[in-house]
Structures are given as structure tokens and as C-alpha cells.
Amino acid sequence: MTADATGRGRIAVYLAALLVVLVDQATKYAVQSTIPLYESLTVIDGFFSLTHVRNPGAAFGFLAQVSPAYRFAFLVTVTLAVIVLIIFFLERNRQAGTILNAALALVLGGAAGNLIDRVSQGEVVDFLDFYIGTVHWPAFNAADAAISVGAFLLIIDMVLRKKND
């Protein structure tokens, strides 16, 4: 691959990550502007609602019960480390494949989206609420979805690389 093609590929990864951040922040803004905190808007009765909640912790409320100062410092530090590591990897491995680049773009954008919330509001805005009857999956947001899909793509990339070795 030529340096020019590699440069365009890297730019595409960063643009995709930026798109994730923009979608994440736009959807969170829309929810905060239209749905009062702790209220829901039913989309599919008995299955899916838009529910405005806040998560002071990490995924699934991890660390939500820890002191706010420690939790904030820990989560911001870990998120910044992940962002720096992804950028470092992208800059050092300019010939990463499409699946790996897509995975890293999704994780990078999702991490940045949630970091924006954490730094500006001290917690993350969640609103995607899936459930069956009274059993709810923990609410999440577009950044969380991007991180999850990115992690899944990372696993696929690792399996494919192992298979090709």
C-alpha cells in the first residue's frame, strides 16, 4: 500500500471516530432536551424505550458506588489511556486491515463521546432502554453501542488473524 493510500485510510478512521462522537453527542443532546431525567418515551411497548438516565460509573454501573472523586479520576485516566493507546497503535501500524480499523474507529469514537460527558457533566447520559416485561438490560447510549460493536469486531479480527497464521 502506498503512503498516500495509508494516509487516507488513517484519515478515514479518524473521520469515522469523529462521526461516532457527533452522533453520540447529538443523540444525548436530543434526549436531554426532550425527555426529563428518569422519564421514558415508549418506542416499542414491552421491549424498547428512550429513558433519560445518568450513569456516574462505567459499563453496567461499574464503580457507581465508589467515591465520586476517585471514580472520576479513575475513569477519565483509563479513558484517556485507551484513546492514547488507540492513536499510538494507529500511527505505528499504518497497514491495519479494514476490520481492525473499523473496530478501532468505533472504540475511539465511543470512548471520546463518553469522555466528553464525564468531563462536562461528571457522569454519562444513557437512554437506550431495552427490556422484556420488567426485566431491563442496563440503559446505554450510542457511544456504548459503538464500543461494544468495536470490541466485537476486534474479536473477529483476532480470530481471522489466528486462522490465517
Task: For 101-128, write each residue's pLDDT tens digit.
Answer: 999 999 999 999 999 999 999 999 999 9
Instruction: Render pLDDT for 19-28 as a digit per residue (tens, 0 to 9).
Output: 999 999 999 9
What residues form DSSP beta bridges with 48? 44, 130
Predicted local confidence at residue 61, as pLDDT: 67
Q: What is the pTM of this model?
A: 0.90
Predicted local confidence at residue 86, as pLDDT: 96
Its sign, for the CA torsion 51, 52, 54, 55, is: positive
Going by pLDDT thresholds of 50, 70 and 90, the confidence category of residue 9 is confident
Residues annotated catalytic, as ranges: 126, 144
Query: 109: burial class by Cβ within 10 Å (0-12, 13-18, 19+)?
Result: buried
What value does the mean pLDDT of the chain take? 91
Average pLDDT over residues 62-77: 87
Identify the domain containing residue 150 by its residue range: 3-164
Predicted local confidence at residue 6, as pLDDT: 61
Question: 106: how many CB neighbours lie within 10 A of its CB?
Answer: 26
Backbone angles phi, psi at 135, to 5 degrees: -95, 115
Average pLDDT over residues 77-101: 92
Domain count, the chain: 1
